[in-house]
């Protein structure tokens, strides 16, 4: 048992991968808790897909791809805010427009790069945590520390703004700055997660651990703490599954965290499908309408 657990740790690349997996599982769960509570899961998806043009352009000009991805993420959030403020288009539609346009631009640029350079940039789409270098571990650690420090320092303000934006504005809090700061935290988290699970799968780590914790506990700080634990356990478990069964690491991590969510959905003491009896009030409306149609005929 212990031999199997310690075997991957004898390889330096696995040591680096596990460190990054733990850091990413932690910050994704913490930042994603705000997204889930605000019902802005699509925003995380939009930003994650919008970083692709930034990393492609950064590679083309020889700059740091993490910086390029972060700038692209910030610009995409500004574009969403600008479309929402200067037109009658709702925020979700603005997110869809920006997300699809940036994703298409990123794929196009990556294709052009690969035409002249035999280099694989597709790992940014699906993740390649086993290939993280020592500098990338330090970059991820610095980003994680920055994100966690900001969350701790602004916890009360972000909590107030998350649950009651109008009340926070009436209380004199800089709600626009808080909103923009939260977008920056999301962009930083996505940049830190690119090599782990890729921009396509990062939404799962942003939302699923917090959603799982939300089925088990009530308060936001409890959701963050439990979600962080779920994210870390899922990341480590996914890495070990990837090592022993020769699976792609990013999808393995996502499958583990999704499996834990399914267990919580089925067996949660307060919201579980099997632990809470189905009543007339929470019975599916579609099922009730179907039964009504069957009775009529």
Residue 220 buriedness (CB in 10 A; 0-12 / 13-18 / 19+): buried
pLDDT at 165: 82
The pLDDT value given to residue 111:
84
pLDDT score of 24: 92
- Please identify which residue in the block is written with the tokens 């990054």: 20
The predicted pLDDT at position 23 comes to 93
Residues 6+ away with beta carbon under 8 Å from 198? 123, 124, 125, 126, 127, 128, 250
Of 110, 138, 134, the C-alpha closest to 123 is 110
Per-residue model confidence (pLDDT) at position 55 = 85
Q: At what angle do helices 91-116 and 41-50 cross, to 10 degrees?
A: 30
Listed as ranges, residues in the chain with pLDDT below 70 are: 1, 118-122, 277-287, 291, 297
Both structure tokens of 50: 């919008």
Q: How many domains in the chain?
A: 1
Alpha-carbon distances, residue 189 vs 56, 121, 146, 260 (angstroms): 18, 19, 10, 22
What pLDDT is stored for residue 141 in this prediction? 92
For 120-151, write each residue's pLDDT tens digit. Answer: 666 777 777 888 889 889 989 999 999 999 99
Residue pair 144/23 in contact (Cβ under 8 Å)? The answer is: yes
- The residue assigned the tokens 């390649």 is 128
How high is the pLDDT of residue 105? 92
Q: List, for residues 65-78, the tens digit of each pLDDT value.
A: 888 988 998 888 88
Cα distances (Å, whole numbers) of residue 220 to 78, 152, 226, 246: 27, 13, 10, 37
CATH number for the domain that contains residue 164: 1.10.3470.10
pLDDT of residue 121: 62
Domain span including residue 50: 2-296
Query: pTM for the complete prediction?
Result: 0.84
What does the pLDDT look like over 154-166, one tens digit per residue?
988 888 888 888 8
Cβ-contact 92, 105 below 8 angstroms: no
Q: What is the pLDDT of residue 201?
A: 78
Instruction: Give dist(CA 279, CA 54) in Å, integer.
Output: 50
pLDDT of residue 297: 63
133: left (phi over 0), alpha (psi -120 to 50) or beta: beta
User: Of all helices (H) and strands (E), which one includes residue 180?
Assistant: helix 175-214
Beta carbons of 213 and 192 less than 8 angstroms apart: no
């Amino acid at each position: 048992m212990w031999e199997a657990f310690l075997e991957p740790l004898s390889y330096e690349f696995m040591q680096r991968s596990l460190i990054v997996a733990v850091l990413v599982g932690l910050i994704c769960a913490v930042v994603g808790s705000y997204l889930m509570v605000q019902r802005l899961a699509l925003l995380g998806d939009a930003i994650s897909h919008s970083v692709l043009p930034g990393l492609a352009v950064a590679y083309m000009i020889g700059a740091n791809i993490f910086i390029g991805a972060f700038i692209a993420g910030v610009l995409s959030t500004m574009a969403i805010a600008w479309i929402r403020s200067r037109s009658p288009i709702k925020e979700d539609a603005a997110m869809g427009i920006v997300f699809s346009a940036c994703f298409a631009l990123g794929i196009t640029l990556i294709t052009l790069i690969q035409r002249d350079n035999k280099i694989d940039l597709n790992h940014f789409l699906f993740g390649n945590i086993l290939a993280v270098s020592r500098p990338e571990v330090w970059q991820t650690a610095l980003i994680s520390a920055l994100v966690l420090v900001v969350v701790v320092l602004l916890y009360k303000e972000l909590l107030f703004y998350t649950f009651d934006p109008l009340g926070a504005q009436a209380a004199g809090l800089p709600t626009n700055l808080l909103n923009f700061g939260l977008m920056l935290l999301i962009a930083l988290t996505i940049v830190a997660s690119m090599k782990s699970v890729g921009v396509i799968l990062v939404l799962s780590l942003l939302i699923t651990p917090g959603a799982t914790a939300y089925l088990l506990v009530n308060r936001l700080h409890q959701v963050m703490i439990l979600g962080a634990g779920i994210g870390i356990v899922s990341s480590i478990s996914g890495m070990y599954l990837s090592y022993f069964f020769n699976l792609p690491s990013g999808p393995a991590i996502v499958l583990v965290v999704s499996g834990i969510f399914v267990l919580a959905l089925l067996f949660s003491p307060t919201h579980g499908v099997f632990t809470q009896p189905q009543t007339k009030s929470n019975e599916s409306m579609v099922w009730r309408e179907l039964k009504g149609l069957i009775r009529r005929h």
